[in-house]
Amino acid sequence: MLGREIYSAFFLEKTMNDTTSDTTEFQSDNLQRFIFDNAPVRGEWVHLTESWKNVTSRREYPVAIERLLGEMMAAAALLTATVKIKGRLVLQLKSTGPVTLMMVECTSKNTLRAFAQWDGDVEDNATLTQVTGEGALAITIDVEGSKQPYQGVVSLQGKSISDVLEAYFKQSEQLETRIWLAADSQSAAGLFLQQLPGESNNKEVDEESWSRLSQLASTISNKELIELGAGTLLHRLFHEEECRLLSSTELSFSCNCSRERVADTIGLLGKDDAKDLVEEQGHIEVACEFCNEHYQFDEVDVAQVFASQISTKTDDKTVH
């Protein structure tokens, strides 16, 4: 019954879009979950505009690197939605270059941040291998309050970052998973399908529906991913299936760097090294890679960092 209701909702949206514009009327910076009433398969769609522009406006990336970073950002949102945790998920790509480091973080508070470091020139239409050479992608899930984060690592093999992630799911989970990602200078978007552990006794039927749904999804183009809203896109792909929209989540860019955190890092340098740096440069300047915020510490600030460290140490002594 519910499936049919959604079907008519899709139909309604489709008719509306046919008479107006097909591309503008949808909410971006949003993640939409969906399921199928006639198959044990779950799905997610994500589309980022403002949060993505927040990343690209902070640094001028070469086109191919920007595209890869956008795809990673969409992927991080999709993966975070699949793990029901309080904490954060980090995708970290390390490679021989030109991209040397790429990091994307998505938190359970629905915030995203991302950056890439690179060295040298990259052609606009460079492939994944041309952008990264050899390397690996680490997926870290950091649950609040737990001491040891979970980390999975997969080598950068395949034509795209979605190939890499599908390989990761193949090695880490038994669940069949497909991911489609696309990004340009304006938007980053993704689609995720995963076969759920079937409760039905008919494995053959489950396999058949998985293969049918993933084939339907495979017809999606990058242009459609970037330009269409969830309703229109899912209708286009699955109009003959009983696809049901579940909850949706708003996402935004946010960086939690702070002067206090930078002070902690300077503290780790050690008093002598920090003093040398101030003497050489007049101050210590630290820039946050994610948001490009610059923090400056002059002689007095640095002295304060170590003064507060000493007082903590003295406190420690009194306690013990």
Residues that bind Zn ion (CB under 5 A): 255, 257, 288, 290-291, 293
The CA-atom distances, in angstroms, between 216 and each of 20, 30, 229, 233 are: 26, 23, 17, 11
Contact of 189 with 77, CB cutoff 8 Å: no
Amino acid at 45: W
**CB of 286: closest distance to Zn ion in angstroms?**
10
Please identify, using beta-carbon distances, which residue of 45 and 61 lies nearer to Zn ion.
Answer: 61
Distance, CA of 29 to chain centre: 12
Please identify, using beta-carbon distances, which residue of 205 and 257 lies nearer to Zn ion.
Answer: 257
Please identify, using beta-carbon distances, which residue of 26 and 61 lies nearer to Zn ion.
Answer: 61
CA–CA dist 311, 79 (Å, integer): 43
Pairing of strands 135-143, 294-297: unpaired
**CB of 287: closest distance to Zn ion in angstroms?**
9
Q: What is the dihedral of CA 120, 126, 129, 135, to 10 degrees?
A: 40
**CB of 113: closest distance to Zn ion in angstroms?**
7
**CB of 285: closest distance to Zn ion in angstroms?**
14
**CB of 257: closest distance to Zn ion in angstroms?**
3
CA–CA dist 225, 248 (Å, integer): 17
Please identify, using beta-carbon distances, which residue of 47 and 58 lies nearer to Zn ion.
Answer: 58
Pairing of strands 252-253, 111-118: parallel
The first and second tokens of residue 248, run together, are 């949706």
Please identify, using beta-carbon distances, which residue of 257 and 303 lies nearer to Zn ion.
Answer: 257
CA–CA dist 181, 161 (Å, integer): 8
DSSP state of 59: S
**CB of 219: closest distance to Zn ion in angstroms?**
39
Please identify, using beta-carbon distances, which residue of 25 and 285 lies nearer to Zn ion.
Answer: 285
